[in-house]
Amino acid sequence: MTQLQSLRGMVDLLPAQTRRWQAVEAVARAHFQRSGLAEIRTPLLEVTELFARGIGEATDVVGKEMYTFVDRGDRSCTLRPEGTASVVRSAIEHGLLTQGVQKLWYAGPMFRYERPQAGRQRQFHQIGVECLGVSSARSDVEAIALAWDLLRDLGVTGLELQINSLGTLEDRQRYRQQLVNWLEARVDQLDADSQQRLSVNPLRILDSKNPSIQALLADAPTLLEALSDESAQRFKSVQQLLKQLAIPVQLNPRLVRGLDYYGHTAFEITSDQLGAQATVCGGGRYDGLVQQLGGPPTAAVGWALGMERLMLVLEAAAAKNPDGQAARLTATPAPDLYLVNRGQQAETLALVLARQLRAAGVVVELDGSGAAFGKQFKRADRSGSAWAAVIGDEEAEAGQLRLKPLQTEGEERFFALNDLDAVVAVLQTTTDGRFASENQR
């Protein structure tokens, strides 16, 4: 029988990888809680119109990359390719916007039919922030600072913040005509994809990944030059506030992001940990999206980071600095205690002991193999635990366990099975008091 495999671009997260992801997610969750954000969870499957109307039909995401099908109710459905449109739809549907400012975050899988490569899969994962009902330049900077501080706290180094202003709709319409006039005079230098975009959505040409197109655009007019005085002043305020927070800024007049709903501030945060600058987070302001999806006029700003790319960056940072925060986050955590046991009575006592110690907050790995002690001790060494507790027939008869240090030189110690507080006290010497006995809670 043929062995079944996952679909191309749909990647399993094995236990070691999942532990690293959970460590990163825990840091993000702590940042969001301190910033007053609440978690929201939306369905993976939405009506196709949500993304066609929200993201823009002329974008690559909608035009080329969505997983779309007609369901049994003859409805066009799409696996979500990004999170913002779903969050906005939910906020409108459930009346959240009538309850004041909504500061939300989400995490989960997204789907795009792209060519799989390192850090980019067809099922990929994002952590995102959406702040609905905030309009000031300061709210832009608060959102950027949250992303910047999170990445630094994760141990990502070589960070660079690139920002641009997309101005108002009127600014973009004015700039669009300037850009079209400039590109039409050079249409023979455009690739087929850019020529098609020229008549449909010319600003998407700025997002081209073709090096020759990017070289050509070096002399093109920029959106910054087309900003109204009010938009220019707003963008200046954003830069000044970022300076107040000591977050360095790199202006990038070609930065437009890949989705149509952005206006005013757009930004990307990159890292050089993978050699070249790689984008790990991007976002911006999208004041028109809520109304575009049927809600009231609502200012909004947000961002998302890609977990797959972020994990590559963290692994590179860990390799570069084995003692840094990234290395600590990506390391496989060791149990506080590895419980070696063999013999019918001993195995029963070990099960009871493991449960009691876990209730006291101790991370216990119970060897359930029934193998010889030598093999169990080898596994205990590989676990990275500082201690092994040993219960065999002799210990079971005596009502004792033997505590053996694994990572340092030291004598074995014996404890009564009913004296767990003494065992916990010894284990705390190598865990910085991370847990307390049940009686101390």
| Residue range(s) defining the domain that contains residue 417 | 337-440
Strand arrangement, sheet containing 337-341: 364-366, 337-341, 387-391, 400-405, 413-416
Backbone angles phi, psi at 372, to 5 degrees: -60, 155
Can you read off the two tokens belonging to residue 41?
A: 């969870």
Q: What is the CATH number of the domain that holds 369?
A: 3.40.50.800
Last-in-domain residue among 328, 358, 384: 328
Alpha carbon distances (Å) from 105 to 22, 43, 372: 16, 14, 49
Amino acid sitting at position 121: Q
Instruction: Tell whether 106 and 124 lie within a shared domain.
Output: yes
Instruction: Tell whether 270 and 354 lie within a shared domain.
Output: no
Q: Cβ distance 261 to 203 under 8 Å? A: no
| Residue-level pLDDT, tens digit, the chain, 441 residues | 899 999 999 999 999 999 999 999 999 999 999 999 999 999 999 999 999 988 877 677 887 899 999 999 999 999 999 999 999 999 999 999 999 999 999 999 999 999 998 888 999 999 999 999 999 999 999 999 999 999 999 999 999 999 999 999 899 888 888 989 998 888 888 888 888 888 777 887 887 778 898 888 888 888 888 899 999 999 999 999 999 999 999 999 888 876 667 899 999 999 998 877 789 999 999 999 999 999 999 999 999 999 999 999 999 999 999 999 999 998 988 999 999 999 999 999 999 999 999 999 999 999 999 999 999 999 999 999 999 999 999 999 999 999 999 988 888 999 999 999 999 999 988 766 566 544 444
Q: What is the CATH number of the domain that holds 269?
A: 3.30.930.10
Q: Concatenated DSSP letters for 18-68?
A: HHHHHHHHHHHHHHHHHTT-EE----SEEEHHHHHHHT-TTSHIIIII-EE
Instruction: Tell whether 21 and 94 lie within a shared domain.
Output: yes
Amino acid sitting at position 70: V
Instruction: Tell whether 374 and 304 lie within a shared domain.
Output: no
Residue 35 belongs to a domain: yes
Residue 313 belongs to a domain: yes
Residue 400 belongs to a domain: yes
Residue 72 belongs to a domain: yes
Predicted confidence at residue 261, as pLDDT, reads 76
Instruction: Tell whether 163 and 249 lie within a shared domain.
Output: yes
Instruction: Tell whether 273 and 382 lie within a shared domain.
Output: no
Instruction: Tell whether 324 and 342 lie within a shared domain.
Output: no
Instruction: Tell whether 352 and 379 lie within a shared domain.
Output: yes
Instruction: Tell whether 237 and 324 lie within a shared domain.
Output: yes
Instruction: Tell whether 401 and 282 lie within a shared domain.
Output: no
Task: Say how far apart CA 30 and CA 32 lie, in whole Å.
Answer: 5
CB within 8 Å of 268: residues ≥ 6 apart: 161, 162, 252, 255, 257, 279, 281, 282
Residue 26 belongs to a domain: yes
Number of domains observed in the structure of the chain? 2
Residue 45 belongs to a domain: yes
CB within 8 Å of 303: residues ≥ 6 apart: 128, 129, 143, 144, 147, 267, 281, 282, 283, 284
Residue 211 belongs to a domain: no
Residue 191 belongs to a domain: no
Q: Concatenated DSSP letters for 140-175?
A: HHHHHHHHHHHHHHTT--SEEEEEEE---HHHHHHH
Predicted confidence at residue 441, as pLDDT, reads 40
Instruction: Tell whether 284 and 363 lie within a shared domain.
Output: no
CB within 8 Å of 100: residues ≥ 6 apart: 133
pTM: 0.88
Instruction: Tell whether 241 and 376 lie within a shared domain.
Output: no
